[in-house]
Amino acid sequence: MSILGLSIIVFFILNLLLGSISIPMMDIFGILTGQHCDNEIWRNIVLKSRVPQSLTATVAGAGLAVSGLLMQTVFRNPLAGPSVLGISSGASLGVAFVVLLSGSIGGMALSKLGVIGEVTITLSAIAGSLLIMALIAFVARKVRGNVTLLIMGVMIGYIANAIIGVLKFFSAEEDIRAYVIWGLGSFSRVSGGQTSVFIILMLFLLPTTFFLIKTLNILLLGDSYARNLGLDIKRARLLVISCSGILVAIVTAYCGPIVFLGLAVPHICRGIFHSSNHSITLPASMLGGASLALLCNLIARMPGFEGALPVNSVTALVGAPVVMWVLFNKRKSEV
Amino acid sequence: MMKKKETIRVENLSTGYHSKKGYNIITKHINASLFSGELTCLLGPNGAGKSTLLRTLTAFLPPVDGQIFISGKPLFNYSDAELAKVIGVVLTDKLMVTNMTVDELVGMGRSPYTGFWGHMSDNDHRIVTDAIDLVGISNLRGRMVQTLSDGERQKVMIAKALAQETPIIFLDEPTAFLDYPSKVEIMQLLQKLSREQAKTVFLSTHDLELALQIADRIWLIDKSHGVTIGTPEDLSLSGDMSMYFHREGVTFDAESGMFKICHKLGKSVRLTGSNAPYHMVKKALARQGIDVNNDSHNPISIEASEDGYTINGLKVKSIDELINIVTDTIDS
Q: Give the Å distances, CA to CA, from A257 to A89, A289, A319.
A: 8, 15, 14
**Rounded CA separation A296/A186 (Å):** 11
Residue A327: the pLDDT is 72
Looking at the structure, do residues B297 and B242 belong to the same domain, yes or no? Answer: no
B1 within domain boundaries: no
**Nearest CA-CA distance, residue A222 and chain B, Å:** 7
B166 within domain boundaries: yes
pLDDT 10s digits, B73-122 = 999 899 988 999 999 999 988 787 888 999 999 999 999 999 888 889 99
> Considering B226, B251, B276, which residue would you say is the last residue of a domain?
B251
CA A278 to chain centroid, in Å, comes to: 19
CA B48 to chain centroid, in Å, comes to: 15
DSSP structure class, residue A191: -
**Rounded CA separation A73/A240 (Å):** 9
From start to end of B100-255, where are the E strands?
Answer: 168-172, 200-205, 217-222, 226-230, 250-253
Those residues with Cβ within 8 angstroms of residue A329's Cβ, 6 or more apart along the chain or in another chain: none
- What pLDDT band is residue B48 in, cutting at 50, 70 and 90? confident
Closest to A241 measured CA to CA, from A90, A88, A62, A67: A67
Contacts of A211 in chain B (CB under 8 A): 116
Looking at the structure, do residues B243 and B181 belong to the same domain, yes or no? Answer: yes
Of B99, B112, B164, the CB nearest to A274: B99
Q: What angle do CA A176, A180, A184 make, to 5 degrees?
A: 170
- Give Rg (Cα) of chain A: 20
**Rounded CA separation B17/B9 (Å):** 21
Write phi, then psi, for B94 (nearest 5 degrees): -75, 130
Looking at the structure, do residues B39 and B137 belong to the same domain, yes or no? Answer: yes
DSSP structure class, residue A302: -
**Rounded CA separation A330/A335 (Å):** 6
3-state secondary structure B82-115: HHCCCEEEECCCCCCCCCCEHHHHHHHCCCCCCC
Tell me, what amino acid is at A47? L
DSSP H or E segment with residue A180: helix A173-184
Looking at the structure, do residues B197 and B120 belong to the same domain, yes or no? Answer: yes
B261 within domain boundaries: no
Average pLDDT over residues B214-220: 92
Looking at the structure, do residues B130 and B221 belong to the same domain, yes or no? Answer: yes
Looking at the structure, do residues B129 and B157 belong to the same domain, yes or no? Answer: yes
Contacts of A220 in chain B (CB under 8 A): 96-97, 100
Looking at the structure, do residues B129 and B13 belong to the same domain, yes or no? Answer: yes
The chain B residues in contact with chain A (CB within 8 A) are: 58, 60, 80-85, 87-89, 91, 93-100, 104-105, 108-109, 111-112, 114, 116-118, 144, 164
Chain A residue with Cα closest to B99 = A275
Residue A109: the pLDDT is 54
* Res. B42: pLDDT tops 80: yes
CB contact (8 A) between residue A76 and residue B96: yes
Q: Give the Å distances, CA to CA, from A65 to A7, A157, A287, B215.
A: 16, 20, 9, 50
Contact A307, A301 (CB under 8 A): yes
DSSP structure class, residue B247: B
Ordered structural domains, chain A, with CATH: 2-330 (1.10.3470.10)
HSE toward the beta carbon, residue B124, CA cutoff 13 A: 18
Residue A192: the pLDDT is 61
B262 within domain boundaries: no
B135 within domain boundaries: yes
Average pLDDT over residues B203-208: 90
Q: Give the Å distances, CA to CA, from B61 to A100, B8, B55.
A: 48, 16, 6
**Residues of the domain holding B325:** 267-331
Looking at the structure, do residues B235 and B273 belong to the same domain, yes or no? Answer: no
pLDDT 10s digits, B266-299 = 778 888 888 888 888 888 888 888 888 877 677 8
The better pLDDT of the pair B263, A290 is held by A290
Residue A15: left if φ>0, alpha if ψ -120 to 50, beta else—which one?
alpha
How much helix, strand and coil, in percent to the nearest 5, is found in chain B?
35, 30, 35
Looking at the structure, do residues B240 and B302 belong to the same domain, yes or no? Answer: no
Contact A226, A292 (CB under 8 A): no
Average pLDDT over residues B164-188: 90
DSSP H or E segment with residue B120: none
Looking at the structure, do residues B313 and B182 belong to the same domain, yes or no? Answer: no
**Rounded CA separation A19/A14 (Å):** 9
- What pLDDT band is residue B3 in, cutting at 50, 70 and 90? low
Contacts of A225 in chain B (CB under 8 A): 89, 91, 93, 108
Number of domains in chain B: 2
Of A211, A214, A228, the CB nearest to B88: A228
Looking at the structure, do residues B117 and B156 belong to the same domain, yes or no? Answer: yes
**Rounded CA separation A149/B92 (Å):** 23
Residue A146: the pLDDT is 60
DSSP structure class, residue B2: P
B258 within domain boundaries: no
How many CB atoms lie under 10 A from the CB of residue B239?
A: 12
Contacts of B91 in chain A (CB under 8 A): 224-225
**Rounded CA separation B273/A120 (Å):** 96
In this prediction the ipTM stands at 0.81
- Looking at residue B109, which CATH number applies to its domain? 3.40.50.300
Contacts of B171 in chain A (CB under 8 A): none
How many CB atoms lie under 10 A from the CB of residue B227?
A: 22
From start to end of B129-172, where are the E strands?
Answer: 168-172
**Rounded CA separation A225/B153 (Å):** 14
pLDDT in tens, chain A (335 residues): 778 888 888 888 888 777 767 777 777 777 777 776 677 777 777 777 788 888 999 999 999 999 999 989 988 888 788 877 788 888 888 888 887 777 655 555 555 556 677 778 778 888 888 888 888 878 777 766 666 777 888 888 888 889 988 888 877 777 788 788 777 778 876 656 678 888 998 999 999 999 999 999 999 998 889 999 999 888 888 888 888 888 988 898 888 888 888 989 998 888 888 888 999 999 999 999 999 999 998 888 776 666 567 888 888 888 888 878 877 776 444 43
> Considering B227, B251, B275, which residue would you say is the last residue of a domain?
B251
Contact B125, B79 (CB under 8 A): no
Looking at the structure, do residues B143 and B204 belong to the same domain, yes or no? Answer: yes
Closest to B272 measured CA to CA, from B308, B302, B310: B302
Residue A121: the pLDDT is 78
B149 within domain boundaries: yes
